[in-house]
């Protein structure tokens, strides 16, 4: 069972660990009382007194930089086609049906189940792009942050880190007001920033906040400017869906004369706080502009594949210093290994080449290692963390590889990342650490059974089914 959250911070010795400069042997990692790494030292051939000796490699946890937790209740509900054509916009209509029913208690149950899955899949922090904020009828809850607190409670149930991103959402498209089935999403710039400020002021353990703009089609230029003014000088992440669909790009050109990323860049909106979610359809000039601004991108390969969005131009983005983070988005998959696998495999299919992400000219011959390293560093900015990974000062999050996994059997230690990403399917992580505490130990989480029961009850109510088995 996991150690209780009140137990002493961890002091570990690992035979192999992934540090900012790659694999290093004989690593001591000691967490402080503040839940951050107080020491990470390689080359310590003998475990120091009091250190727990691991028999498996140690990796940093990954930030899930883009999540809509409520959509976990929607998984497998849009995998049929009833007409001649199916696309993102048809999927969205079905998704709204779930969004219009879920309550705060149900959201907590669904989110806790999801967050435990994410923890098992190697994510130790999640960024919630949170626009599901109002009552079913579109009015405010007695506490307007009731749905935000449901997410925070779910994260606490699991022991995962959380950045809540209240969303500016004011219209259905460039030329249309919010639709009735979007009534729960309505929020202006002031409400968005005030929500983030309240979440931060609550100072819940492992919970932070930033802000988000749903998309250019859902927020006017004036409202985006107002939000920017309200967070001027404030250190927090700012996320936006952008250039996910070709239809969205075309609509933006018709309305503004510019492509979405082009508009953001030319208006001078972007800086190092901004995270462009998807950025699927970006041209060379836009990629260069993002790189010049210091902004990051968040790619969600399994969701983008599930929705038929298109393929992210991975080589072009990797050729810049732009931070690249991963997101689980619609929760089609809850494991970063699958996200990296599809990210690389999509490139291989369209380019008819192998190891597209690798850069031997830079001394990185492994596609998995290059992608993983970018995801570790990219996740920090997306979550509002100043540093991330197995490094002193970063939050003490880590993953212990299950070397008994059949997919890893016979794999040389320094080829472990290649096998974890490309020798599928791999098992969940043996152990998971968040903020210097065991959250999963020997594959078990102390609250798993209770979380499964609450999730089954919530799904039964949302689906109208009398029974639903815990999963």
User: Which residue has better confidence, 76 or 138?
Assistant: 138
Distance between CA 245 and CA 264 in Å, rounded? 16
Separation CA 282–CA 375 (nearest Å): 19
Q: Tens digit of pLDDT for each residue in 148-206?
A: 999 999 999 999 999 999 999 999 999 999 999 999 999 999 999 999 999 999 999 99
Q: What range defines the domain where residue 23 resides?
A: 11-60+391-440
Separation in Å, CA 317 to CA 54, 303, 304, 347, 350: 36, 19, 17, 13, 16
At 80, the pLDDT band (50, 70, 90 cuts) reads confident
Please report whether residue 465 resides in a domain.
Answer: no
**The predicted structure's pLDDT at residue 468:** 42
Q: Half-sphere exposure of 273 toward its Cβ, with a 13 Å CA cutoff?
A: 17
Same domain, 256 and 140: yes
Question: Which residues, 6 or more positions from 167, have their beta carbon under 8 angstroms from its beta carbon?
Answer: 129, 130, 131, 133, 185, 187, 192, 211, 212, 213, 214
Q: Is residue 412 part of a domain?
A: yes
Q: How far apart, in whole angstroms, are the C-alpha atoms of residue 355 and residue 368?
A: 9
| pLDDT of 353 higher than 90 | yes
Q: Quote the pLDDT of residue 320.
A: 98
User: What average pLDDT does range 276-283 have in this prediction?
Assistant: 98
396 and 377 together in one domain: no
Tell me: do 375 and 422 sit in the same domain.
no
Helix intervals (H) in 270-335: 284-293, 301-306, 314-318
> In angstroms, what CA-CA distances link 52 with 196, 397, 404, 431, 438?
39, 16, 19, 13, 12
Q: What is the mean pLDDT of residues 263-267?
A: 98
Instruction: State whether 249 and 334 are in the same domain.
Output: yes
Within a domain: residue 51?
A: yes
309 and 216 within one domain: yes
pLDDT at 89 over 80: no
Asked if the structure places residue 98 within a domain, the reply is yes
pLDDT above 90 (res 94): no
Identify the domain boundary among 339, 361, 383. 383
Q: Is a pLDDT exceeding 70 seen at residue 373?
A: yes
| DSSP-derived secondary structure letter, 174 | T
Say whether both 152 and 290 belong to one domain. yes
Reduced to 3 states, what is the DSSP secondary structure of residue 430? coil
C-alpha span between 421 and 62 (Å, rounded) = 14
Q: What is the pLDDT of residue 396?
A: 98
The answer to whether position 92 is within a domain reads: yes
pTM of the model: 0.95
Q: How far apart are CA 18 and CA 43, in angstroms?
A: 13
Q: Which two tokens stand for residue 219?
A: 């927020």
Rounded to whole angstroms, how far apart are CA atoms 137 and 146? 15
Among 334, 356, 383, give the residue marking a domain's end: 383
How confident is the model over 304-311, as a mean pLDDT?
94
pLDDT of residue 464 exceeding 80, the answer is no
- 296 and 435 share a domain? no
Q: What angle do CA 30, 36, 41 make, to 5 degrees?
A: 35
Tokens of 275: 């995270």
Q: Where does the pLDDT of residue 467 fall: very low under 50, low under 70, confident under 90, or very high at 90 and above?
A: very low
Write down the catalytic residue from 66, 239, 278, 445: 278
Q: How confident is the model at residue 4 (pLDDT cuts 50, 70, 90)?
A: very low
Give residue 74's pLDDT. Answer: 85
Q: How confident is the model at residue 83 (pLDDT cuts 50, 70, 90)?
A: confident
Q: What percent of the chain has pLDDT over 90?
A: 89
Q: Could you give the CA distance from residue 208 to residue 155 in angstroms, rounded to a whole number? A: 11
Q: Which of 343, 358, 383 marks a domain boundary?
A: 383
Under the banding of pLDDT at 50, 70 and 90, the label for residue 96 is: confident
Mark whether 256 and 187 lie in a shared domain.
yes
pLDDT band at 78 (very low <50, low <70, confident <90, very high): confident
Cα–Cα nearest to 344, from 325, 326, 367: 367
Q: Does residue 7 have a pLDDT over 80?
A: no
Predicted pLDDT of residue 471: 39
Task: Find the CATH number of the domain harbouring 18.
Answer: 2.30.40.10
Average pLDDT over residues 360-378: 97
- Nearest Cα neighbor of 454 from 71, 103, 45 is 103
SS3 404: coil
DSSP-assigned states of every residue in 145-214: THHHHHHHHHHHHHT-EEEEEEEEB-EEETTEEPPGGGGGG-B-HHHHHHHHHHHHHHT-TTEEE-EEE-
Provide the mean pLDDT of the chain: 94
**Residue 449 placed within a domain:** no
Phi and psi for 176 in degrees, rounded to 5? -140, 140
**Which pLDDT tens digit goes with each residue over 218-251?**
999 999 999 999 999 999 999 999 999 999 999 9
- Give kind and range of the element (H or E) at residue 367: helix 367-383
Residue with tokens 């972007």: 270
Write down the pLDDT at residue 3: 39
In a domain, 451, yes or no: no
- pLDDT at 465 exceeding the cut of 60: no
Residue 36: pLDDT above 70?
A: yes
Question: Is 329 annotated as catalytic?
Answer: yes
pLDDT for position 293: 98
pLDDT at 5: 45
Spot the catalytic one: 329, 397, 405, 431.
329
In the block, tokens 């705060």 appear at 104
pLDDT at 252 over 50: yes
Structural element, H or E, at residue 274: strand 274-278
Q: What is the pLDDT, as a whole number, of residue 1? A: 37
Does the annotation count 68 as an active-site position? no
The residues, ordered by sequence, that sit 6+ positions from 351 with a Cβ below 8 Å of its Cβ are none
């Amino acid at each position: 069972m996991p150690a209780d959250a009140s137990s002493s911070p961890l002091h570990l010795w690992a035979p192999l660990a992934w540090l900012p400069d790659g694999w290093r042997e004989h690593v001591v990692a000691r967490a402080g009382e503040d839940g951050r790494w107080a020491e990470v030292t390689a080359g310590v051939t003998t475990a120091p007194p009091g250190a727990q000796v691991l028999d498996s490699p140690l990796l940093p946890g990954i930030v899930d930089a883009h999540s809509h937790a409520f959509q976990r209740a929607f998984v497998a509900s849009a995998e049929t086609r009833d007409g001649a054509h199916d696309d993102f916009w048809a999927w969205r209509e079905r998704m709204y049906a779930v969004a219009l029913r879920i309550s705060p208690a149900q959201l907590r149950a669904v989110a806790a189940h999801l967050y435990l899955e994410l923890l098992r899949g190697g994510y130790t922090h999640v960024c919630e792009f949170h626009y599901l904020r109002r009552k079913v009828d579109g009015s405010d809850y007695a506490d307007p942050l009731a749905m935000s607190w449901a997410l925070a409670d779910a994260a606490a149930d699991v022991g995962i880190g959380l950045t809540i991103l209240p969303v500016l959402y004011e219209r259905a498209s460039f030329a249309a007001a919010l639709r009735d089935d979007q009534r729960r999403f309505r929020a202006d710039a002031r409400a968005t920033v005030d929500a983030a400020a309240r979440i931060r002021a609550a100072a819940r353990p492992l919970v932070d906040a930033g802000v988000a703009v749903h998309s250019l089609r859902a927020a006017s230029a004036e409202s985006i400017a107002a939000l920017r003014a309200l967070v001027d000088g404030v250190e927090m992440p700012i996320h936006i869906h952008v250039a996910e669909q070709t239809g969205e790009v075309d609509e933006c050109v018709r309305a503004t004369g510019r492509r979405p990323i082009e508009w953001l860049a030319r208006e001078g909106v972007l800086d190092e706080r901004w995270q462009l979610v998807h950025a699927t359809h970006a041209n060379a000039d836009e990629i260069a502009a993002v790189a010049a601004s210091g902004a990051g991108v968040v790619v969600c390969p399994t969701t983008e594949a599930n929705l038929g969005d298109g393929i992210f131009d991975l080589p072009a983005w990797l050729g810049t210093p732009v931070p690249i983070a991963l997101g689980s988005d619609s929760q089609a998959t809850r494991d970063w290994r699958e996200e990296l696998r599809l990210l690389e495999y999509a490139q291989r299919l369209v380019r008819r080449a192998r190891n597209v992400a690798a850069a031997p000219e830079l001394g990185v011959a492994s596609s998995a290692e290059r992608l993983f390293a970018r995801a570790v560093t990219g996740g920090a900015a997306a979550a509002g963390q100043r540093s991330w990974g197995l490094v002193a000062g970063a939050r003490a999050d880590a993953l212990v590889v299950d070397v008994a996994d059949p997919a890893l059997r016979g794999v040389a230690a320094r080829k472990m990342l290649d096998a974890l990403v490309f020798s599928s399917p791999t098992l969940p992580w043996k152990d998971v650490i968040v903020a210097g505490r065991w959250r999963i130990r020997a594959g078990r989480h102390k609250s798993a059974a209770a979380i499964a029961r609450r999730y089954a009850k919530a799904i039964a109510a949302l689906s109208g089914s009398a029974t639903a088995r815990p999963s």
